[in-house]
Amino acid sequence: MAVIPLEKIILRKVKMRMKNPFTTSFGTLQDKEFFIVEAVNKEGQSGWGESVAFSAPWYTEETVKTNEHVIKDFLIPLLRKRPLEHPDEVSERFSPIRRNNMAKAALDGAIWDLYAKEQGLPLSLALGGEKKQIDVGISIGIQKDISLLLGKVGDAIAKGFKRIKIKIKPGFDVNVIKRVREAFPETPLMADANSAYTLKDIDHLKQLDHYNLMMIEQPLLHDDIVDHAALQKALTTPICLDESIHSLDDAKHAISLGSCKIINVKIGRVGGLTVAKQIHDYCRTKDMPVWCGGMLEAGVGRAHNIALTSLPQFILPGDTAGSSHYWERDIIEPKVIVRDGVIEVPQTPGIGYAIDQEALDAFTVSKDVFDV
C-alpha cells in the first residue's frame, strides 16, 4: 500500500501586520501572529498549512499559544505512530485529542497539499472540486461611523465583490443596515454579529427582516444551536451559523433542529479539509447552501479556502478577498487576485501558489523542525 512518505514537520511562528485594523463585536485586530506548517516528504517536496487561531481566545477557545502546545506535544507524536496512506486519515488519527481544531487543521492542510503535489493534482481536484472560478464577497469590519462604512461598501461594490458582509453589534446594527440598504438598494448584503445578541433581542433583530439581507451570521451564543432554532422561526432572514459548527455532527444537529438555513464552513474551525468536505457533502444531500468563511488568512490559508470553495455546494460567495486587501506583502507567489468578484482556481499541483520564501523568512519569528 502506498504511503505518504512524510519525513519532517517544520513549524514556523509568523507575525504579519494587517494593512487595516479589523474590528468585530469582540475587538480589534491588526498584528496577526500565526503558525505556518510545512510537511516535508523524503523527496524534499513540501506541503503547506496555516493555523487560523488568533492570539486571544475570542473567536474560539484556541490561541497561538495553545496551537503550539497541542501541535508539538500531541499532534506530531500521533503522526509518528504509523505512516499515513491518505490525508483523510489525519482527522481520524487526531480524534483522541478533543477539539483544538485549528491546530489539527494546520497539519491536515499541509498534508493535503503535500499529497496533492505527490499525485500531481491541484488541491481543488484532489478534494473533488469542480469549479474553475469562485465567486467572492468581502467582510467589512465595524467602522468608527456610518459614513466611513458607506465609503468602504461603495469601494467594495465598485471592485465587483459579489456580496458585502457587514459586522454588527448592539448599537451598530439596525440603524447601520438601514443606511447601507438605502444607499445600495440592490447589493447582496449580509450582517455578521459574532454572537453579540441573546434571545431577549428577538424583537430588535426582527427589524432586520425589512432590509432584504441574504442572511444574518451567528447572532446568538457561540456554541448555541437551540436558541438559534427559536430565532430562525421568528425571522424571515436566513440565519447562517459560523462559530457554532465545529464538526459534522454539529452541522447535522443544527440542520435537524432548524437552527439555520445556511452554514459558513471554516476549515480551521472544523478541524481540517477532510471534515470540511464531509460537512459540504452532508449539506449537499440536505440542500443546505454553504460558503467558505475567512479568518484574515495569509496566502497559504487563503489558497486552501479557494481549493475548498471549488466544491459544488459552495453556492454562496465566501469571504476570500484577495491578498492586497489584507497585506502589503503576502507570503505566496503569485498573490491571490480578485477580478470582478471572481478568483481563478489554480490548476497546478497542490495549493497552486508557491511560497515566497524571502517574505516568509522576513515574517518568521521562530522555527522548529520535528522528525516524523
Ligand X SMILES: O=C(O)CCC(=O)C1=CC=C[C@@H](O)[C@@H]1C(=O)O
Quote the CA–CA distance of 296 and 280 in Å, as a whole number: 22
Cis ω before 334 (30° cut-off from 0) = yes
Query: Considering the rule CB under 6 A, would residue 192 count as an interface residue with ligand X?
Result: yes
- Reading the block at residue 160, the C-alpha cell is 465587483
Q: Which amino acid is at 348?
A: T
Query: Considering the rule CB under 6 A, would residue 290 count as an interface residue with ligand X?
Result: no
Q: Least Å distance between CB 26 and ligand X?
A: 7
On whether 328 is known to bind a ligand per the annotation, the reply is no
Q: Which residues pair with 164 in a beta bridge?
A: 138, 189
Count of residues of this chain found to bind Mg ion when the rule CB under 5 A is applied: 3
CA 31, 102, 189 angle in degrees (round to 5)? 70
Whether 266 is a known active-site residue: answer: yes
Count of residues of this chain found to bind ligand X when the rule CB under 6 A is applied: 12
Q: Least Å distance between CB 204 and ligand X?
A: 20
Quote the CA–CA distance of 143 and 208 in Å, as a whole number: 19
Q: Which of 68, 192, 250, 319 binds Mg ion (CB under 5 A)?
A: 192
Query: Considering the rule CB under 5 A, would residue 173 count as an interface residue with Mg ion?
Result: no
Query: Considering the rule CB under 6 A, would residue 293 count as an interface residue with ligand X?
Result: yes
| Residue 38 interacts with which of Mg ion, ligand X, none, CB < 5 to 8 Å by class | none
- Reading the block at residue 351, the C-alpha cell is 495549493
Query: Considering the rule CB under 5 A, would residue 242 count as an interface residue with Mg ion?
Result: yes
List all residues 6 or more positions away from 165 whose beta carbon is below 8 Å from its beta carbon.
Answer: 137, 138, 139, 140, 189, 190, 191, 192, 217, 319
Q: Which of residues 195-234 bind ligand X (CB under 6 A)?
A: none
Q: Least Å distance between CB 302 and ligand X?
A: 8
Whether 367 is a known active-site residue: answer: no
Quote the CA–CA distance of 283 and 261 in Å, as a whole number: 10
Q: Which of 129, 294, 341, 349 binds ligand X (CB under 6 A)?
A: 294
Q: What are phi and psi of 20, to 5 degrees?
A: -130, 140
Q: Least Å distance between CB 337 and ligand X?
A: 15
Q: Which of 118, 243 has the CB closer to Mg ion?
A: 243
Of 162, 165, 167, 277, the catalytic one is 167
On whether 192 is known to bind a ligand per the annotation, the reply is yes
Would you tell me how many other CB atoms lie within 10 Å of the CB of residue 109? 33
Q: Among candidates 266, 192, 254, which has minimal Cα distance to 26?
A: 192
Quote the CA–CA distance of 47 and 352 in Å, as a whole number: 11
- Among the listed ranges 108-116, 164-172, 176-184, 216-224, the one in contact with Mg ion (CB under 5 A) is 216-224
On whether 243 is known to bind a ligand per the annotation, the reply is no
Residues that bind Mg ion (CB under 5 A): 192, 217, 242
Q: Catalytic residue positions?
A: 167, 266
Residues that bind ligand X (CB under 6 A): 24, 59, 139, 192, 194, 242, 293-296, 319, 321
